[in-house]
Structure 1
Amino acid sequence: MEVRRSARRRRTVSAYREGDRTVVLIPARMSAKEERKWVGVMLEKLAAQERRSQLGDTELAERAEQLSRRYLDGRAHPRSVRWVTNQNTRWGSCTPSEGTIRLSHRLQSMPEYVRDYVLLHELAHLLVPGHGPDFWRLLDSYPRTERARGFLEGVTEAERRSVPSED
């Protein structure tokens, strides 16, 4: 395991696998005690993430097809749907011109209805690129939109509060 301190990193902590090594990125000003705490937290997160890798990219693409049929009349046809590990501030992203959807690996540990909402949200972007009224009308048919959005807002707020402050 390797801990890398960065003067540019102010509040966030992240970790990833680099071959056989685990790299934990922390702010340079973090104390040794905070470092130990965050290394433990991040190692557990990575381990949990690896245990939950039950839904691979192939299954994710199949789920996208099911959701498109059920909620979008089968109109959304992504060329690719995959998990990515480089989205730590977004839950998902879509490039309509390429038909590609990427979901943050952080969703893998969340309830199915939350993953489905984010996937459906990105599928809707294949039909309507922006977040205007037409876009939100597409999501009206998904019964757990508001609940999933609330869940994600709660996770975002909890993460914001658990990151060491700059004070």
Structure 2
Amino acid sequence: MRRSRRRTRTLTVFREGGRLVAVVPERISAREQNELIPPLVQRFLRREAKRGLPQAPDELNRRALELYRRYLRPLTGEDPPGFSVTWSSRQQHRWGSCSAWSGEIRLSARLQTMPSWVSDYVLLHELAHLHQPNHSAEFHRLLSGYPDRDRAKAYLLGYQHGAGMGESETPDAEDDYS
């Protein structure tokens, strides 16, 4: 549990490094905390189970390997380079990021509330960066085989619009958001 000075009324729960974290207003009483957090955690776990998203780092890495083998290997003809995937609660301006030189992929924890085909798209996008660090024609060719690509991009765009996030991370025609 974390207390936040910036949070004044609402509570939230998310996963960070495989653990659940509850963020509560700094001034909430222990009684309120004990009443409000357990139902919030239960609701979060129910939603998480419905989505079927990989939550632990091992599961996330297995999912990434599965996506790589299914969609990228046929186009690259190569086994995947070394990589590791983690959820990040610190990524508030990007859906994902990739350090191609180290193979580190970080996905925004916000994706955990979205359908799996959306998080799969962002994960696949970052995996493609292991081969193409930019958003070149070759990069887009690598993503072309994912059947939910356009639907996932539209979902992320709608989410950003609904959340009033502006266009800073909008996947545009060049797919330039990670």
Same fold (TM over 0.5): yes
Correspondence 1:152 to 2:167:
no
Q: 2:6 and 2:89 mapped to 1: Cα distance?
A: 20
1:21 deviation in Å? 7.0
On the 8 A contact 1:84/1:105 being kept in 2, the answer is yes
| Structure 2 residue aligned with 1:107 | 111
Q: 1:120 and 1:131 mapped to 2: Cα distance?
A: 13
| Structure 2 residue aligned with 1:92 | 96
On the 8 A contact 2:97/2:105 being kept in 1, the answer is yes
Contiguous gaps of at least 5 residues in structure 2: 15-20, 27-35, 166-178
| Structure 2 residue aligned with 1:119 | 123
1:88 deviation in Å? 1.2
| Structure 1 residue aligned with 2:5 | 4
Q: Deviations over 1:58-109 (max 9, x none)?
A: 1000000000100011543342111111011211100001111000111111
On the 8 A contact 2:87/2:109 being kept in 1, the answer is yes
Q: 2:71 and 2:128 mapped to 1: Cα distance?
A: 10
**What RMSD in Å do the two structures reach over aligned CA positions?**
3.3
Amino acid in structure 2 at the alignment position of 1:120: L
Kindly tell me: are residues 153 and 78 of structure 1, through their superposed partners in 2, closer, same or farther at Cα, counting changes over 3 Å?
A: farther
Kindly tell me: are residues 153 and 131 of structure 1, through their superposed partners in 2, closer, same or farther at Cα, counting changes over 3 Å?
A: same
The correspondence of residues 74-93 of structure 1 with structure 2, limited to 5 A, is 75-93=79-97
| Structure 2 residue aligned with 1:29 | none
Correspondence 1:22 to 2:26:
no
Q: 1:152 and 1:90 mapped to 2: Cα distance?
A: 11
1:112 deviation in Å? 1.0
Contiguous gaps of at least 5 residues in structure 1: 7-12, 26-39, 162-167
Size of the aligned set, in residue pairs, is: 138
Q: What TM-score comes out, normalization by structure 2 length?
A: 0.64
1:54 deviation in Å? 5.6
Q: 1:158 and 1:2 mapped to 2: Cα distance?
A: 27
Amino acid in structure 1 at the alignment position of 2:44: A
SS at structure 2 position matched to 1:103: strand
